Amino acid sequence: MTIRSLLLLIAALPCLLGCREDAGPEPLRVICEATFPPYEYHVQGAIDGIDPALCAIFAACLDRPLVVQDMAFDAVIPAVATGKADLAASGITVTEARARQVRFSAPYVEAAQVAVVPIESPARDLADLPGLRLGVQSGSTGDLFVTRAYGEPDRYKSVIEALNAVRMGKVEAAVVDRQPAQAFLAQTPGLRLLPRPVVREAYAFAIDPGNPRLAAQVDAILAHLRRAGLLGEVARRYLAANGGAAPTAPVDTADIRAAVAADPMLRAELARLAADPALDPPRRTLADAFRGLADTFRANFVDEGRWRYLAEGLRATLVISALATVLGLLIGFAVAVIRATHDMAGTLALPNALCRLYLTVIRGTPVVVQLLIIYFVIFGSQDVSKVFVAVVAFGLNSGAYVAEIVRGGIMAIDRGQNEAGRSLGLGHWRTMGFVILPQALRNVLPALGNEFIVLLKETSVAGYIALMDLTKAGDVIRSQTYTAFMPLLAVAALYLAIVSLFTWLLGRLERRLKRDA
């Protein structure tokens, strides 16, 4: 290929990747956390609910195709704030902190946070909540309220996970949104609501802060829906679909969508807004950017002492990593010796078969699935420490990889070493312990160090069981400040510092072993 051809290919690459002859109107990009019935949920391979139905009306009125994507709730505000989506529709309550990051539409529904407890719980009113172990959806207004009123709760990815934690006895109560809680209780016996709501609130759509025109258009459509009585009709159809629970089939609102999109007065209003120069995106200066960085740093690490989340998460990550490494080494060496003994001497057939089964299961399934099985299934009915669960899960997972690393080191040792040990009168196990393993350990030390680094980073999924590790700490800060850059940068920097320190220590140990060899 000539240089001219290469330059032409590079110039054409953007169009080859993303350009079309007739691209058509830009889609209305909507994100939501689709485990929140009746507002958004998965049904028959699609995302449906009150919020997606309203967004479909927005898209029809604006003559734009609709794209709805599922995303964790604590990420929807940062995603909209950074322009990854045009609009977030996920039962979002307007708060001062959120309003600093995104534009909000006019409120479209009244809502409340409620407390859910087991039927047999002695708690009868909100006055009984202090002192109870509480669960919340991470990043929700329930999370913010509980943190400030009662102390740190157990944070789960979704309302469903928080309610399941109450059902399984992992927490004593959950503070979540009322209608999703009612939908869950309609299908799950054994739980009840406390009579008074914890806090009353209203939902609104979060809109890209750089798109004031879309915010004005959404408000105009919502005002029309409210005047025509159609806003309540959309909600009624979803609430009546299955007694307040998630329907098993999509709810049809096509007639409402078509009627609103065809209304001549609304179309004239939307056309006026589309041409209004006052709604052009605001321009930001370099001074605004620097001022924004300073404000973001203060909000993420100084206000309300949020740096303590990182300190707590770092401590948990180091404890889990250290204890899981010890457990993984013990399991790994034991499995490696059993398998190597079977390979060399043909003995230990049954233990070898069990070890092979263990390796197959552990290496064939994701570590996050193993963590959830150990927490929700094996220890489902026991209130055990989350750190203990994490140590067991990550230790078992690491042990499988350590076993194969060590077994490879053992099998790489010359057979003459084993024969030399036996000729000196040492039995098989003493030869393995005093002759083979020390040499194998020196050879596999770099690989074992790499396994520790992998294990350290794997602990980042510990947040799935509401454990405050380092990554979860960054998520909690992000869910309270609704900014992604600085919390993620801080978490990445701490991981990098730990790995760099460990790599340096491992390098010194390797050099010392070489000198002593």
pLDDT one-digit tens code per residue, 235-292: 899 888 766 555 678 899 999 999 999 999 999 999 999 999 989 887 766 665 566 6
Average pLDDT of span 408-429: 71
Query: Could you tell me if 168 and 119 are in contact, meaning their C-beta atoms sit under 8 angstroms apart?
Result: no
Contact (CB, 8 A) for 389 and 371:
yes
What would the mean pLDDT of 357-386 be, rounded to a whole number?
91
Instruction: Give the C-alpha distances (Å, rounded to integers) separating 275 from 224, 244, 268, 478.
Output: 20, 41, 11, 36
Residue 16's pLDDT is what? Answer: 47
**Concatenated DSSP letters of 159-172:** HHHHHHHHHTTSSS
What domain range is 404 assigned to? Answer: 305-516
Does residue 82 carry a pLDDT above 80? yes
Domain-located, residue 388: yes
Calculate mean pLDDT across residues 307-333. Answer: 95
Lay out the sheet containing 35-36: strands in order across: 35-36, 40-43, 46-48
Same domain, yes or no: 396 and 493: yes
Of 171, 196, 221, the residue that ends a domain is: 196
pLDDT at 120: 94
pTM: 0.76
Question: Is residue 184 located within the same domain as residue 224?
Answer: no
Q: pLDDT at position 314, please?
A: 96
- In this prediction, residue 9 has a pLDDT band, given cuts at 50, 70 and 90, of low
Confidence band, pLDDT 50/70/90 cuts, at residue 360: very high
148/79 same-domain check: no
CA count, 13 A, side-chain hemisphere, 131: 5
CATH of the domain at 377: 1.10.3720.10
Is 253 found in the same domain as 149? no
Whether 383 and 497 share a structural domain? yes
Between 67 and 246, the higher pLDDT residue? 67
> Are 382 and 405 within one domain?
yes
Would you say residue 389 has pLDDT above 80? yes
Separation of alpha carbons 203 and 94, rounded Å: 7
Characterize 359-395 residue by residue with b for buried, 16 or more Cβ atoms within 10 angstroms of its Cβ, and e for exposed: beebeeeebbebbbebbbeebeeeeeebbebbbbbbb
Mean per-residue pLDDT over the chain, rounded: 87
Residue 164 maps to which CATH number?
A: 3.40.190.10
The confidence score (pLDDT) of residue 21 equals: 47
319 and 171 within one domain = no
Q: What's the whole-number mean pLDDT along residues 104-133?
A: 93
The answer on 73 and 211 residing in a single domain is yes
At 97 the pLDDT is: 84
Same domain, 223 and 75: yes
Within-domain flag for 5: no
pLDDT band at 13 (very low <50, low <70, confident <90, very high): low
Pair (341, 437) in one structural domain: yes
Last residue in a domain, options 196, 227, 242? 196
- The DSSP 8-state label assigned to residue 211 in this structure reads -
The residue-averaged pLDDT of 223-239 equals 92
In a shared domain, residues 170 and 208: no
Residue 54 inside a domain? The answer is: yes
Q: What is the pLDDT of residue 285?
A: 66
Other beta carbons within 10 angstroms of residue 449's beta carbon come to: 17
Residue 11 has pLDDT above 60, yes or no: no
Point out the domain boundary residue: 196, 218, 252: 196
Question: Which band of pLDDT confidence, cut at 50, 70 and 90, is reported for residue 388?
Answer: very high
- Shared-domain flag, residues 40 and 185: no
Mean pLDDT lowest among 93-102, 140-149, 198-207, 376-385: 376-385
pLDDT of residue 317: 96
Q: Does some domain include residue 12?
A: no
Residue 25: CB atoms within 10 Å: 10
The verdict on residue 467 lying in a domain is yes
The answer to the question of residue 292 being in a domain is no
For residue 293, being part of any structural domain is answered with: no
Is residue 18 included in any domain, yes or no? no
The amino acid at residue 182 is Q
Q: How far apart are CA 67 and CA 195, in angstroms?
A: 38
User: DSSP secondary structure string, 307-351?
Assistant: HHHHHHHHHHHHHHHHHHHHHHHHHHHHHHHHHHHHHHHS--HHH
Tally of domains in the chain: 3
